[in-house]
């Protein structure tokens, strides 16, 4: 069994809303730019669409957010 020691992002659905927990990378925010581009490629591949189609939706959300960013307090 794999043990996850230093997650960067954990995303899940909870009661109909998507929850995203972000854990700062030791190398800074730039690491997440690479992660986001990789995720777009994986999503495009998984759904058999072009990367441009996925980026189109990213840009739509980027300029017209459908949900706020809420800072969660540690438990």
Residue 17 burial (CB count, 10 A): 8
Task: Please answer whether residues 47 and 56 qualify as being in contact, where contact means their C-beta atoms are separated by less than 8 angstroms.
Answer: no
Mean pLDDT, to the nearest integer, of 12-39? 88
Give the list of residues 6+ apart from residue 44 with CB closer than 8 angstroms, or none.
50, 51, 53, 54
At residue 75 the predicted structure's pLDDT band, cuts being 50, 70 and 90, is low
Per the DSSP assignment, residues forming a β-bridge with 14 are 17
Q: Which of 44 and 31 is assigned the larger pLDDT?
A: 44
Q: Say what the pLDDT of residue 28 is.
A: 85
């Amino acid at each position: 069994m794999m043990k996850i020691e230093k997650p960067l992002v954990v995303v899940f659905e909870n009661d109909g809303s998507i929850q995203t927990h972000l854990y700062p990378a030791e190398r800074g925010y730039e690491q997440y730019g690479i992660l986001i581009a990789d995720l777009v490629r994986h999503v495009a591949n998984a759904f058999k669409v072009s990367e441009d189609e996925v980026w189109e939706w990213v840009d739509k959300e980027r300029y017209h957010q459908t949900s706020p960013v809420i800072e969660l307090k540690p438990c």
